[in-house]
Amino acid sequence: MNRARAVVELLAVVLVTGLAVAPGPATAPAVADNGLARTPPMGWNSWNAYGCDIDQDKIRAAVDALVTTGMREAGYRYVAIDDCWQADARTDTGALRADPTRFPDGIKALADHAHAVGLDLGLYATPGTRTCANIYAGYPGRLGSLGHERQDAATFAAWGVDYLKYDWCLAEQDGVDPQAGFTLMRDALAATGRPVVYSVHRQPQQPVDRWRPAVANLWRTTGDISADWGSVLDVLDRQVGLERYSRPGAWNDPDMLEVGNGPLTLAEDRAQFSLWALLNAPLLAGNDLTTMPESVRAVLTNPEVIAVDQDWAGTQGYRVFDDGDHEIWRKPLSGGDSAVVLLNRGTSAATVTATAEQLGFPGVTGFGLHDLWTGQTTTTRAGTISVSVPPHGVVFYRVSPDRG
C-alpha cells in the first residue's frame, strides 16, 4: 500500500510540474542544471556536535558564530538542522511541526534569523515513515515524509528552508523504491518554486546509482563518519573511482567534516580538510562553533584550501599513487595548475616523493610549489618533489609547471 501511494504521488507531481523520472542523467531533468550548488556547498550541520540534543538557542548560536568567527566571509553559507527537530506527531492536517519545547519560535524564525545575516537554513527529512532517530535513537514518532511529500515540501518552502537533507533511514521497510522516492521529493521541491539545494543519503551508498546526479545536488557515498582517524581514512578509501559522477551542481558527498571534534589532532584536522577540498566535497563543519579554538578556526577558514574545493571547473581530485601508508592525490585546477596532497597514513614522519607524471605534468622538470598550509613558495628543477610528511598528516601543494 505504501509503495502504491508513493507511485500515485509521483505521478501527480509529474503531471503538475511537467517533469519526468528517467533512469539516468542523460535523459532526466537534472537537478545539476537547476542553477544551485555550482560549487560544493559550504556550511555547518548540527549532528556531529549535538546529535539529538538540539534546540533553537544552539541553532541561533551557530548562525551567529558563523558570522563572528569569519566563517561566513570564508564561504560557509548553510546552517543545517539535522534530525530531531520535529514534534513527536504531525498536526491534525498532517503537517510537520517543530518540537514546541525546544523550538518554541518555530523553524521559520530561525530561517529569518539566518537570512537576516546573509546565511541560509537547512533542514532534515526522510522518504520513509521514520527518521533515523526514530529508528536508532528512540526519538518519538513516525515522522518520515512518505505520503506527505508535497505537503512537506510546501511546508519547508513556507518556512524559508534553503537546503534539504533527505536521509534514507530504512525506507525500504516501507516499500519505497530509492529512485522513485528521492525523485518524488525532488519534484515536490521544484513544484514549490523555491530554490532548495537537495542532498540525499541513499543506503547502500555504493555503487553510486547512475540516476543520482539527475536527482540530487549531492549524495552521500559512505556511511556516517566519526571523529576518528581510522574512520576518516575508511571514508577516504571509498572515494576512489567516484570522480566520474561529480560535476558542478552534482557532487559526491563523503559526509561531514569532523575538524575540531573528538580526539582528532591538528594534523588530522588539516588532513581531512585538505582531502575533502581536493575531492570537491561539500564542506559542512560539524563542530561546536561556540567553543571552537583558534587553531580549528584557522583550519576551517584557510582561504587557499577552500579555493581548491570551490574551483569553478569542478573537477574532482583522485588518487594517483598508493603504497599502503603513503598516497598522492591530484586535482586539476581551472588555471592549469594542479592541487596535490601528499598523505602519510602512518604513525611516523615519512618522505613522500611524487613524479612529474603524478603531479599532472609528464615530461616537465621545473615546478613552482606553493604550500597551502605554510604559505611558503619554493621551486624545483629535479623533475620530482620529495617532502617529509608528518604522521597522520598531509603536505598540500598548489603545483605550477615551469616549462622554460
Which residues make Cβ contacts (< 8 Å) with residue 385, sequence separation at least 6? 353, 354, 359, 367, 369, 397, 399
Sign, Cα dihedral of 73, 77, 82, 87: positive
How many alpha carbons lie under 13 Å from residue 404 in its C-beta half-sphere?
Answer: 6
CA dist 328 to 156, 277, 361, Å? Answer: 42, 14, 14
Q: Is 234 a catalytic residue?
A: no
Which residues make Cβ contacts (< 8 Å) with residue 175, sequence separation at least 6? 1, 2, 3, 6
Q: pTM value?
A: 0.92
Q: Is 224 a catalytic residue?
A: yes
Cis status of the peptide bond prior to 303, with omega within 30 of 0: no
The pLDDT profile of the chain, 404 residues, written as one tens digit per residue, is 344 434 333 333 333 333 333 333 333 456 757 899 999 999 999 999 999 999 999 999 999 999 999 999 999 999 999 999 999 999 999 999 999 999 999 999 999 999 999 999 999 999 999 999 999 999 999 999 999 999 999 999 999 999 999 999 999 999 999 999 999 999 999 999 999 999 999 999 999 999 999 999 999 999 999 999 999 999 999 999 999 999 999 999 999 999 999 999 999 999 999 999 999 999 999 999 999 999 999 999 999 999 999 999 999 999 999 999 999 999 999 999 999 999 999 999 999 999 999 999 999 999 999 999 999 999 999 999 999 999 999 999 999 998 66
How many alpha carbons lie under 13 Å from residue 274 in its C-beta half-sphere?
Answer: 26
Domains of the chain: 2-309 (3.20.20.70), 318-402 (2.60.40.1180)
CA dist 180 to 8, 133, 190, 350, 398, Å? Answer: 11, 23, 15, 49, 42
* All three cell numbers of 260: 575540531
The strand pairing partners of 195, in sequence order, are: none
* All three cell numbers of 360: 599532472
Q: Is 241 helix (H, G, I), strand (E, B) or coil?
A: coil
Catalytic residue, candidates 105, 224, 237, 402: 224
> Which parts of 109-232 are beta strand (E)?
120-125, 163-167, 197-201, 218-220
Helices (H) then strands (E): counts for the chain: 14, 16
Residue with cell 513527536: 88
CB of 131 within 8 A of CB of 171?
no
How many beta carbons lie within 10 A of that of residue 241, not counting itself?
A: 12
CA-nearest of 197, 81, 98, 82 to 155 is 98
Catalytic residue, candidates 82, 152, 167, 288: 167
